Amino acid sequence: MRNKRRLLLVITFCLPAFFSLGQSKAPDNWFTLDKATDKVQGTSSDKALAILKAKGRKGKPIIVAVLDSGVDVMHEDLKDIIWVNPGEIPGNGIDDDNNGYVDDIHGWNFLGGPDGQNIHHETLELTREYVRLSKKFEGVDPKKLYGEAKKEYEYYLKIKQDFEEARREAEASKAQIAAQFERIEKAFATIANALGKTVFTEEDLKTLDTKSDKELEKAVELAKRFISNGITPENLEKIKEETTGNQLRYNLNPDYNPRHIVGDNPNDLTNRFYGNNDYRGPDAAHGTHVAGIIAAVRDNGIGINGIADNVRIMTVRCVPDGDERDKDVANAIRYAVDNGASIINMSFGKGYSPDKKYVDDAAKYAAEHDVLLVHAAGNDASNNDVRPNFPNPNYIEPVRRGLFRKERVAPNWLEVGALSWAGGERCVANFSNYGKRNVHLFAPGHQIKSTIPDNQYATFSGTSMASPSAAGVAAIIRSYFPELSAAQVRDILVKSVSVHQGEVYKPGSTEKVKLSDLCISGGVVNAVNAIALAEKTKPAKRNKKAIWREAGEGKPVKLRTP
């Protein structure tokens, strides 16, 4: 079952994976640190920015689109770096810039309806395919099927098998997760009794004397692990409800279909103009966390430091609690490209993609307009070379280039696995997907503290966090070396990795392999190495369709053809 591939919070939406993670606490902001200077393998972005400033280089603000669950655009650590559409007048109900989207001040929401409602929960693509094909082949005699019809029927049988297996696993997982939550509830109750209050923090735990009470000592240790990973007495019931019930209630329920909320025909791929401008949506924790990793305001004395320092975050909501639709992903990419994004971060994924060609066309459109796509590899501890993770850069239909060359892989796409802060042979997060041919590099993705809605902060794990870590480094290069193309920036990040010496544990196993067996580059994204290589790189000839993008300080984006 591939629901873990959802790439939402590993700890929240895939709780069993949490219990197998290393339990010690990562240093705050470790994803910006440098191995040589700080003794932890982060992106080295702090050091890279210091080097750039020492050389007198000045970066140009660029737009990074966060295609996700939504972003809290009023967060204290993000509000000053949120993209503002220059062509729109807020709240007048008019499409002032004639881009097809009314009042899209900070981005767009492809999961919203014209009445302001929003899709929260969705089915998996597996479920939708099961429903579609069950209707098509109900009562059909397979002996009378030939050619393409027979091939599709065989595909249906595989879908049916996978769906039924997923339901069985969800039933079993529900019981296991419920048992784990009993442990948490018992620990929290023990602590509440000792403290005399039901709501408490990590600081409160430090006040307890556990030397003479073994039960309390165990409860405190367990509570520390969960609180540091975002599960608190205040949100425990909500997380329990979502984690234990949503797979069967929504994700794997063939009778559930919330698309009427949007009001479009989800099968009509020609329709790009639907949704609303609710940037936050029902639950923006994931998207807000991703945005903070990329660009939370640096050195402002609050919260965290994002990786890049010259970014405007554009929020494009297209990811529900369930599997995103290919139509929404493709339209979100096109929206971001058309409205000036230089980089698009995509921290989501799924195991099936019935309309992949539509997403491929959007990726090609981004390549034509010099936009870098950064994508999370997945959280299944799975080999993407064997079991594809969608979306991905492998085109169904190659692009013709000149007389002899065909482009089969998007040149502007970076696929990212998750790095643990632990280092050494355990440097690869044990939940991360990998692929010697289909994952480019690894980036920090385990125990990452970042922004969540309502001016809060939490620690999440997943390739969802690794992707923005890499996107943040890419943003530094695109900001300080704007003459380099998206494809060049992708290649620079891949070629400038910090190569890991020695063997590492392959995710999901006790087998040790070289990091080069798990990704194309054999290494970890490194901002210091990347700027050194960028300085030596001669700018490529620009595609005629490419749009130069620049978001000035406090100014809206300006699009101009070179």
From CA 20, how far away is CA 42, in angstroms rounded?
22
Q: Which candidate, 537, 290, 251, 551, places its Cα nearest to that of 416? A: 290
Same domain, 188 and 297: no
Q: Which residues contact 294 (CB under 8 A, 6 or more apart)?
A: 64, 66, 306, 307, 308, 311, 313, 345, 468, 471, 472, 475
Name the domain boundary from 203, 221, 247: 247
Pairing of strands 343-346, 62-68: parallel
Name the domain boundary from 216, 247, 278: 247
Predicted local distance difference test score (pLDDT) of residue 22: 44
Same domain, 164 and 83: no
Name the domain boundary from 189, 212, 247: 247
Q: For residue 486, what is the domain's CATH number?
A: 3.40.50.200
Give the total number of structural domains in the chain.
Answer: 2
Predicted local distance difference test score (pLDDT) of residue 545: 55
Predicted local distance difference test score (pLDDT) of residue 26: 86
Predicted local distance difference test score (pLDDT) of residue 202: 85
Predicted local distance difference test score (pLDDT) of residue 208: 93
Side chain identity at 189, as an amino acid letter? A
Residue 233 belongs to a domain: yes
Residue 499 belongs to a domain: yes
Same domain, 116 and 136: no
Predicted local distance difference test score (pLDDT) of residue 172: 86
Same domain, 505 and 522: yes
For 123, 137, 143, 174, 387, the CA distances from 157, given in Å and listed in that order, are 19, 10, 14, 26, 18
Predicted local distance difference test score (pLDDT) of residue 16: 36
Backbone angles phi, psi at 425, to 5 degrees: -70, -10
Same domain, 370 and 479: yes
Same domain, 286 and 211: no
Residue 158 belongs to a domain: yes
Residue 360 belongs to a domain: yes
Predicted local distance difference test score (pLDDT) of residue 403: 62
Cα 525–Cα 41–Cα 16 angle in degrees, nearest 5: 95
Same domain, 283 and 404: yes
Residue 555 belongs to a domain: yes
Predicted local distance difference test score (pLDDT) of residue 229: 67
The rounded Cα 478 to chain-centroid distance in angstroms is 20
Residue 160 belongs to a domain: yes
Same domain, 99 and 151: no
Residue 481 belongs to a domain: yes
Cα 421–Cα 10–Cα 40 angle in degrees, nearest 5: 5
Same domain, 239 and 311: no
Predicted local distance difference test score (pLDDT) of residue 9: 37
Same domain, 353 and 416: yes
Same domain, 306 and 240: no
Predicted local distance difference test score (pLDDT) of residue 12: 37
For 77, 228, 269, 463, the CA distances from 294, given in Å and listed in that order, are 12, 21, 31, 14
- What parts of the chain have a pLDDT lower than 50? 1-23, 544, 547-562
Residue-number span of the structural domain to which 384 is assigned = 21-121+264-560
Predicted local distance difference test score (pLDDT) of residue 407: 83
Side chain identity at 58, as an amino acid letter? K
Same domain, 305 and 227: no
Residue 15 belongs to a domain: no
Cα-Cα-Cα-Cα dihedral sign, residues 434, 437, 443, 449: negative
